[in-house]
């Protein structure tokens, strides 16, 4: 390997990904011989980081990598269940994760 000016120095890369999304899960199920409709919409925010730092000293390189993947926050997570056999039976909850 030829040692040149580009083989010496410090390099830093910081990459951050932010995303906001939603999902709306709805399904039908039978429990204790009762038809139930289940609804679970949620809003979420995710963040990830893929960063690195390198020190180059000729033919030697020192790397420090930091990957933070999958931080997820759900400020609203709504869950509801309705009985399709008895419309007066209804259950719901709201939470955050």
In tens, the pLDDT along 62-77 reads: 999 988 867 778 888 8
Tell me the C-alpha distance between 43 and 25, whole Å: 12
Residue 4 has pLDDT above 70, yes or no: no
Q: Which domain holds residue 11?
A: 5-95
Measured at the CA of 51, the angle between CA 47 and CA 54, to 5 degrees, comes to 175
Tell me the C-alpha distance between 84 and 12, whole Å: 58
Per-residue model confidence as pLDDT tens digits over 79-91: 999 999 999 999 9
The H or E element containing residue 36 is strand 34-57
pLDDT of residue 95: 84
Question: How many domains is the chain built from?
Answer: 1
Sign of the alpha-carbon dihedral angle for 39, 40, 43, 49: negative
Structure tokens at 88: 């007066």
pLDDT of residue 85: 94
Q: What is the CA radius of gyration of the chain?
A: 25
């Amino acid at each position: 390997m030829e040692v040149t000016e580009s083989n010496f120095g410090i390099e830093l890369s910081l990459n951050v990904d932010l995303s906001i999304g939603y999902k709306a899960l709805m399904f039908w199920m039978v429990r204790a011989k009762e038809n139930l409709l289940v609804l679970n919409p949620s809003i979420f925010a995710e963040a990830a980081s893929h960063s690195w730092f390198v020190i180059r000293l000729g033919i030697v390189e020192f790397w420090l990598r930091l990957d933070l993947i999958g931080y997820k926050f759900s400020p609203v997570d709504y869950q509801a269940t309705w009985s399709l056999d008895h419309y007066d039976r209804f259950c719901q909850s709201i939470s955050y994760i």
